[in-house]
Chain A
């Protein structure tokens, strides 16, 4: 499976570097290595979800309890989570560090991913969620760290879009 192990490792190390100790996740192809890394790390609490919106509640609980968390999901999972993001995270000023695999962008071969790809940035914009792309190894650590810093200081959701050039090796 040509999901990038090196790209995944960079992201995982960056999350650890920010002090993240709880990750919620719903599997999708691009996230397989990241989820496995979390599973094999005894210092990480991995919560496998049935549906992505649960992750908003889990991260909210973790934050109020003093634990730094991150959410791993596909962009369709982000779309699925919108009410939780609005009526829990934003309403109650909860920081969320959302790592969203950006399917359906340029280069996407799966027809079923393309509609979600086309609306992801527009929905992030409509929700006023600051976001950045992770697409080159060189900026991963810095962008993850800065995203986590902004989430904690603003007490709001932030998003990192995990892009094809970082996550997929053709």
Chain B
């Protein structure tokens, strides 16, 4: 499975979600499919995308939050899985694209290439719903079930270590940040309106 195909297959669902992605290939591929104001790309601070997703999910329980994490990023914040599990927000879907490598910095293999099992780690941390999927149709079904489940889910999608040729896009970081915050603010205003 290619990550870009996985993103493309679920792209339609993301319009109604709040999305936080990690840096590099994942951010570039989602932008290539079409940026939306409800997408935030954390272009650095590896490991903290899931923590950001938790902060949004706890602050705004009415929103459905989707985090697109990666194996390299998640391995930098494994403790954060225990924090996710501790508060287990029902409105958070945590997708981990596991290509078993640090693709964006040269493709060096991560520990998932030698057997570390992120879904098992998430389950052991206490995340109530976890799964590992390898095929596209399997991924789409598992993602749709996670959106419906109303329970914290960590979904590990094994993908090929392939990404776009370049990672820099024409969306400045701060433009993304302020647009995203404004979108969440207007959403809150729309919901509180009579």
Determine whether B51 belongs to the interface, using a CB cutoff of 8 Å to chain A.
Answer: yes
On whether the beta carbons of A64 and B56 are closer than 8 Å, the reply is: yes
Q: Is B54 an interface residue (CB 8 A)?
A: yes
Q: Is the CB of B54 within 8 A of A47?
A: yes
**Closest chain A residue, CB of each to CB of B58:** A45
Given contacts A45-B58, A50-B82, A54-B83, contact A66 B185 (CB under 8 A): yes
B48 contacts A47, C-beta separation under 8 Å: no
Minimum distance in angstroms from A54 CB to a CB of chain B:
4
**Is the beta-carbon distance between B83 and A65 smaller than 8 angstroms?**
no
Shortest Cβ distance from B185 into A: residue: A66
A50 to B47, CA, bound (A): 13
Interface string of A60-86 (1 = CB under 8 A from B): 111111110100000000000001100
- The docked-state distance in angstroms from the alpha carbon of A117 to that of B49 is 30
The distance in angstroms between the C-alpha atoms of A53 and B78, with both chains bound, is 12
Query: B80, A84: Cβ atoms under 8 Å?
Result: no
Q: How many residues of A contact B (CB 8 A)?
A: 30
Q: Is the CB of B56 within 8 A of A61?
A: yes
Which of B26-34, B38-46, B157-165 makes up part of the contact surface? Answer: B38-46
Task: A92 to B55: give the CA distance in the assembly, Å.
Answer: 16
A-B pairs with beta carbons under 8 Å apart, 28 shown = A47-B54, A47-B55, A47-B58, A47-B83, A50-B79, A53-B47, A53-B48, A57-B54, A57-B55, A58-B55, A60-B51, A60-B52, A61-B54, A62-B58, A64-B40, A64-B52, A64-B181, A64-B184, A65-B56, A65-B60, A66-B59, A69-B55, A84-B48, A87-B45, A88-B45, A88-B48, A88-B52, A91-B45
Where the two chains meet, the residues of B that have a C-beta atom closer than 8 Å to any C-beta of A are: 20, 40, 42-45, 47-60, 63, 77, 79-80, 82-83, 86-87, 173-174, 177, 180-181, 184-185, 188
